[in-house]
Structures are given as C-alpha cells and as structure tokens.
Structure 1
Amino acid sequence: MKAMIFAAGLGTRLRPLTDNMPKALVPVAGKPMLERVILKLKESGFNDITINIHHFGDQIIDFLRVHNNFGAEIHISDERDMLLDTGGGIKKARPFLDGNEPFLVHNADILSEVDLRSFYRHHLESKAEATLLVSERQTSRYLLFDKEHNLHGWINKSSGEVKPSGFTYQEGMYNELAFGGIHVISPSLFHYMDKEEWTGKFSIIPFYLSVCQKTDIQGYPLQGFKWFDIGKPETLKMAEEYYRNR
C-alpha cells in the first residue's frame, strides 16, 4: 500500500529546534518524529512511501540512507527549490502516487494511536474520493459535515470566514469537526487538480472545499484516541511525556 509523509515544513513554531534541522527530524522521546511515522505506516501495511522535502532536505535524505529506508521503498519528492504546501506537494508527488489504489497522506508532525489499516479499509469500502480523519476537538477552524459525513464547508469561528465561495453557514446544521492531519485519497481525484488554479503552491483543504459539491469528500470521525500535533513546543512536550511512559 502507498502512503505520503509531509516532511517539507519549515517548523517555525519549533524554533530554535528547527534552526539547524528539519522539523521532521526533531526527536520525540529519543526518536525523530519522521521515524515514528514511518514505522507506524510500515506496521499498518504501507511499504511504498513518498516523503516530500524542503527545509534541510539533505538531512532527511542522509537520515533515510543511514537507516536503509527502514526497510521500506521510499521515494523523495524534492521541493527544495520551492515549498508547495500540502495540495501542491501532493500534486508534485503524483508520479509516485498515481495508479489504481488509494494512498494515505500523513503529516510528519502528527503522532497518534489511530488504526491506520482500519482507516484505509473504511475508505476502500466507501464511495469517497478522499476521506479525512476528523474529531470533536476545540479549535477555531472547523470542517462542516452532514449526517452522512459528507463535507460541505469550512468555518473560522474567530473571524466568521466561511468557504467555499457561496456556501451559507447555519448554526447547528452541520457537524463541526477538526481535521487530524491524516487522510486517504483515491488517485481519481487528481484530475480535479488539472485546472490552472491548482498550479504551484496551494493547500489541500481549499482544494477539497472546491470539489466537495462535485464528488464525495468524507470525514472519518473518531473519538477517544491519543493524538498529538507536535508542531509546537507545548504539544511536543506532551508527546514526549506520553511516549516516555508507554
């Protein structure tokens, strides 16, 4: 099975740790977060893994070489010339991800106890072209789903901004859920990226919102599982404590 890891980020919220290393190699309880994600993917059956690189990308290449790619088939999607964000990163990596089977996308700075194999199987059994891990979590920005878990829109509760253009938000009409940085995409979704507006650098969430009325973009709501966004110091510290005590 195929997967992609986003490891190209600048890691600005983790400075000064990321002043001399990529965020993906910041250790969590003595083990780089990238290593933890790779091993979790392998344990879940994903052995064909694409990793995008930008900030100190050569360090990631050297790290993988020293560890013999952790026994997986690993491809490098090189964004050292230009950081392309999540949507642009997926589109650039298309040569490694295209084909007849869906692929899983995982942020390098997300650590969780989610059963990725079950998540992937759920996508295979659904009609969706993309399935997003979501949960009831306190945040300012929410994805909006109907009772069948189909995506309809997005809202920033702090500013009142809504997406996509023309979408009308009504309090209580939708399930307001937070994205968990893990999703499964069917390669058939790539043809929507052929439009000129999806060229170069772009985020995947606005892309999902632009196509959710044309195809099935679904949420996979889970509760009660360990999940850490370790892209900031306070949550990195929480993850450190959790993994040291496991």
Structure 2
Amino acid sequence: MKAMILAAGRGNRMRPLTDHTPKPLLEAAGKPLIVYHIERLAAAGFRDLIINHAHLGERIEAALGDGADFGVRIRYSAEAQALETGGGIFKALPLLGPAPFLVVNGDVWTDCALTDLKLDADDLAHLILVDNPPHHPTGDFALANGRVYPEGSPRYTFSGLGLYRPELFDGCSAGAFPLAPLLRNAMLAGRVGGRRHAGRWFDIGTPERLGELDRLLGRQ
C-alpha cells in the first residue's frame, strides 16, 4: 500500500515561522514534523510515499530527497497553488495508483498504530477519529458501531489520518476542492468506516501547539 503525506498548506496561523520555512519542516524536539510521519510509515512497512507541496516546496524536496535516507521511495506532487485536501489528493492519483492508499495530514502528530488500519470491502474510506480538542469542541463526524456519519452523536474530530479508495474521487475535476463533501456523500451512502484513537494526537496549527509537542517529545 502506498501512502501520501499532505504538505501543501501555507501555514498562515504559524506565521512568521512559516514565512521562510515550509510548515512540514518546522521542528519539534529537533526533528522536522514530516520526518516523524516518514519514520512511522517506514516502520509500519510503507515503502512508497507521495508528498504534495506548494509553498516553499523546493525546500521540502531538498530536505527529504528521494527518501533513501529513510528507507522509503518518495515522489512529489507539486502544486503551483495549494489545491486543498481533495484537489491535492486528486492530482496525485496517477502516482498513488489503483489500489487503496493511506493519507495523513502533514500538520498532525499522533502515536496511532499504522499497521492495523483496515478498509472494508465495500467502503470508500476508513477514518481515524479522536476526542474533540479544546479548539474544536463540536467535532466533525459521528461514530457508531464502526461506521462514520455526517450527523449524530457521539461526535469526534477527524484526525487527518485515513484510508481511501481512488473511487472516492470519481467524477471530480482538476482544481482546488475540499475532501469533506466527498466523505459526507460516501457516509450518506453507508460506505465510510472508522474507529476512535484514544492515544496521543496533536493538531499542530499554531506556534503554541507546536511548543506543546516540542515539550512532550523532548521529555521522551
């Protein structure tokens, strides 16, 4: 299975840190955020990675190269302008191929195990959900009996980690568009599974949250 790391965001809430450094290369405990993802993916057996980028993307390619230093093969999907999550994945589909693939947001950190993720035969997506953080108290989706719904309770926050089939993007056109509407349509069709991750998860959206992660990892 291939994996994609979403790394094209501008990181406006992280400014001025991201004015000269792409967000995925910001460091926590002396290591770039994106390297934590690459190392965990490699440890879980993923060997083919696709990374999209836009803002200062050439610095990401220069820092990571072809992935050989991490025991993986990295290919890049460059975006002249960030295409949002849905558009970015859609553009990368030729690199991802016809089989299901894993996608992880480049601006999260989690200890969620990547070796036991499962996509049911009829599902278009399988999402990892987490308890709602203080900055997102209403959550994104409901979860019940291993199925994910656009409405209902209890509600959880989408972690940014999911498995997808390329068919989720059938009918889409090139350009910028969000992922959430595609997921909601698939949920209404009963084709999205998921589970709750009760472990650690950080949405690294502000310098303060980056500082929290830096302190946590620095103590380990």
Name the structure 2 match of 1:178: 157
1:27-66 to structure 2, matched below 5 A, reads 27-65=27-65
1:180-219 per-residue CA deviation (whole Å, 9 max, x = no partner) reads 111111223232xx24xx5411111122112322351122
Does residue 148 of the first structure (1) align with residue 155 of the second (2)?
no
CA 1:6–1:146: 2 relative to 1, 3 Å: closer
Name the structure 1 match of 2:20: 20
2:188 maps to which of 213, 228, 239? 213
Does residue 242 of the first structure (1) align with residue 219 of the second (2)?
no
- Tell me if structure 1 keeps the 8 A contact 2:126–2:162: yes
CA 1:36–1:140: 2 relative to 1, 3 Å: same
Specify the code of the residue in structure 1 equivalent to 2:97. D
Give the secondary structure class of the aligned counterpart of 1:189: helix
Shift of 1:71: 2.5
| TM-score normalised by length of structure 1 | 0.82
Aligned residues: 218
1:49-128 to structure 2, matched below 5 A, reads 49-65=49-65, 68=68, 70-79=70-79, 81-100=80-99, 102-119=100-117, 122-123=118-119, 125=120, 127-128=122-123
Name the structure 2 match of 1:134: 129
Specify the code of the residue in structure 2 equivalent to 1:241. R
Q: Which whole-Å CA distance do the structure 1 matches of 2:29 and 2:22 have between them?
A: 17
Q: Which whole-Å CA distance do the structure 2 matches of 1:204 and 1:43 have between them?
A: 27
1:29-73 per-residue CA deviation (whole Å, 9 max, x = no partner) reads 111001111111101111100000100011011111286452311
Shift of 1:7: 0.7
Unmatched 5+ residue regions in structure 1? 155-172
- Tell me if structure 1 keeps the 8 A contact 2:143–2:194: no
Shift of 1:126: 5.6
Give the secondary structure class of the aligned counterpart of 1:116: coil
Unmatched 5+ residue regions in structure 2? none
Give the % identical residues. Answer: 34
CA 1:78–1:215: 2 relative to 1, 3 Å: farther
1:160-192 per-residue CA deviation (whole Å, 9 max, x = no partner) reads xxxxxxxxxxxxx5321111111111223232x
Name the structure 2 match of 1:231: 205
Q: Which whole-Å CA distance do the structure 2 matches of 1:35 and 1:136 have between them?
A: 25
- Tell me if structure 2 keeps the 8 A contact 1:142–1:176: yes
Larger radius of gyration: 1
